Amino acid sequence: MQRTTSYKTFFLCLVLLCSTLGFAQSSKQKQLESRRQELRREIQKINELQKEHKTKAKTELSLIEDFNYKINVLTNLIKVTNQQANLLTREINTNQDHISELRDELKQLKEAYAAMIVKSYKSRNAQSRIMFLLSSEDFKQAYKRIQYIEQYSNYQKKQGALIKSKTEELQETNVKLLKQQEDKKKLIAENRITQKSLEKERRDHEVLMQSIRKNLSMYATQIKQKQREADRIDKEIDRLIKEAIAKSNAKAGKKSSSKTFALTAEEKVLASNFIANRGKLPWPVERGVVRLGYGTQRHPIDNSLTIKSNGVRIATSKGAKARAVFDGEVSEILRMKHVNPIVMIRHGNYLTIYKNLSKVYVKKGDKVTTKQEIGEVATNPSNGETILSFILSKGRDTENPARWIYKM
């Protein structure tokens, strides 16, 4: 009896384990499919933006950035698709094993059921059952034999229902298997197309790099000049934030050397709501792709040079509107010589900064709401590029916007 209980416990644990693994695989497959669709949409956006700018003569630096970004997205798409195909292969193998097990189980069930039917047929007449009951030694034995006949009958019905259930399960697993095999074929076919696109982008990238290497010193000078200009703007932004923090602390009677704002009760609630929406904030433009990520990174043209990025650069369409990513107050409109306007919005002790605007729709002190248009992103007349630089900081310390913005 104890051994039977142990077998049952083991079998139950095995079933639960298989179910858990199946659920985990299904969940992982959904995650991979969601990521694959995101990457496909991103490539579509890149292609659309490239078509918009096709008539403009882009600089080599801009073209290299385009190539690098697209190559990175295509590489990720191939990687994710391969992961999906490999996971499908494992699921297909699991289902094939399950089908074999079901077939063996069905065979045994049908053989046992057939033997049971034959036995029932031989003792099918009422007289045989009556004689079986009348031959009982006493009433107790007769009662037990009646129970046996009922149990035997019920067992036949259960076995028939079990055969039907297992047959349906086999059919469903076969259908699932066929779909998985078809899905895998589609993924492999799509990956071949993506691989060809990637190879073309890499060839074009290499041709351009060969041209650039002929005059690398000139491009290095341009890169350094561009970084110096970015540093000058960031330094001015930092100065303004420092002043704003000092004012808020002086007003609250605190030390002006603090790196964070002294918050009112209302501002504390706003900051708390801002933090609660980490990873869910809307994009600062309705449609766009990240051309340059956050942080210090090697330059794609000259590996000896680095790019220090306090935010992200987002390529978008001509005429695109910059939008506030959360409720807040316009703390500053920065206008510098030879620099397009910059809008700074405060959300308690957090700030979002929107650089490279051609038009500004708000003024200092204005209260803004999530997704409110605050200006139009400037388009470079020489190359047709429309780029919004977006910075997010806690006080004077910048943070990676990709951790805050939804699916960035």
Residue type, 185: K
Question: What pLDDT is recorded for position 4?
Answer: 46
Do 40 and 92 lie in one domain? The reply is yes
SS3 for 342? Answer: strand
Beta-carbon-side half-sphere exposure of residue 265 (alpha carbons within 13 Å): 0
Do 114 and 230 lie in one domain? The reply is no
For residues 295 and 315, is the Cβ–Cβ distance under 8 A? no
Do 142 and 18 lie in one domain? The reply is yes
SS3 for 308? Answer: strand
Strands (E), 9-109: none
Residue 219 lies in a domain: no
Residue 261 lies in a domain: yes
Question: What pLDDT is recorded for position 11?
Answer: 46
Residue type, 153: S
Q: Is 386 exposed, middle or buried (0-12, 13-18, 19+ CB in 10 A)?
A: buried
Q: pLDDT tens string for the chain (408 positions)?
A: 444 455 445 445 544 555 555 556 678 989 999 999 989 998 988 888 877 766 566 677 788 888 888 999 999 999 999 999 999 999 999 888 888 888 888 888 788 777 766 666 555 554 455 555 567 677 777 667 667 666 666 666 777 777 888 888 888 888 888 999 999 999 999 999 999 999 999 999 999 888 888 888 888 888 888 889 999 999 999 999 999 999 888 888 887 667 789 999 999 999 999 999 999 999 999 999 998 899 998 888 887 888 889 999 999 999 999 999 999 999 999 999 889 999 999 999 999 999 999 999 999 999 999 999 999 999 998 888 899 999 999 999 999 999 999 988
Look at residues 360, 361, 369, 365 and name the one whose alpha carbon lies nearest to residue 328: 369
Do 113 and 237 lie in one domain? The reply is no
Q: What is the CATH number of the domain that holds 362?
A: 2.70.70.10
- Of 163, 190, 213, the one marking the end of a domain is 213
Residue 408 lies in a domain: no
Give the Cβ contact number of residue 194 at 10 Å.
19
Look at residues 286, 293, 299 and name the one whose alpha carbon lies nearest to residue 313: 293
Do 46 and 97 lie in one domain? The reply is yes
For residues 126 and 132, is the Cβ–Cβ distance under 8 A? no
Angstrom CA distances, 340 to 176, 196, 380, 381, stand at 57, 40, 11, 13
SS3 for 147? Answer: helix
For residues 296 and 230, is the Cβ–Cβ distance under 8 A? no
pTM above 0.85, yes or no: no
Give the Cβ contact number of residue 316 at 10 Å.
25
Tokens of 128: 């045989």
Residue 75 lies in a domain: yes
Question: What pLDDT is recorded for position 131?
Answer: 58
Do 322 and 356 lie in one domain? The reply is yes
CA distance 313 to 298: 16
Q: Collect all residues with Cβ–Cβ distance below 8 Å to 103 and sequence separation of at least 6.
A: 170
- Of 181, 213, 245, the one marking the end of a domain is 213
Question: What pLDDT is recorded for position 221?
Answer: 87
The position carrying tokens 């990520």 is: 293
Question: What pLDDT is recorded for position 24?
Answer: 64
For residues 52 and 384, is the Cβ–Cβ distance under 8 A? yes
Q: Collect all residues with Cβ–Cβ distance below 8 Å to 7 and sequence separation of at least 6.
A: none
- Of 182, 213, 244, the one marking the end of a domain is 213
Do 15 and 116 lie in one domain? The reply is yes
Do 49 and 183 lie in one domain? The reply is yes
The position carrying tokens 């469903």 is: 172
Q: Domain containing 248: what range?
A: 225-403
Do 230 and 277 lie in one domain? The reply is yes
Do 201 and 253 lie in one domain? The reply is no
Query: Please, what is the Cα angle at 314 between 311 and 315, to 5 degrees?
Result: 155
Do 82 and 208 lie in one domain? The reply is yes
For residues 312 and 290, is the Cβ–Cβ distance under 8 A? yes
Q: Domain total for the chain?
A: 2
Do 200 and 231 lie in one domain? The reply is no
SS3 for 285? Answer: coil
Question: What pLDDT is recorded for position 324?
Answer: 98
Give the Cβ contact number of residue 107 at 10 Å.
10
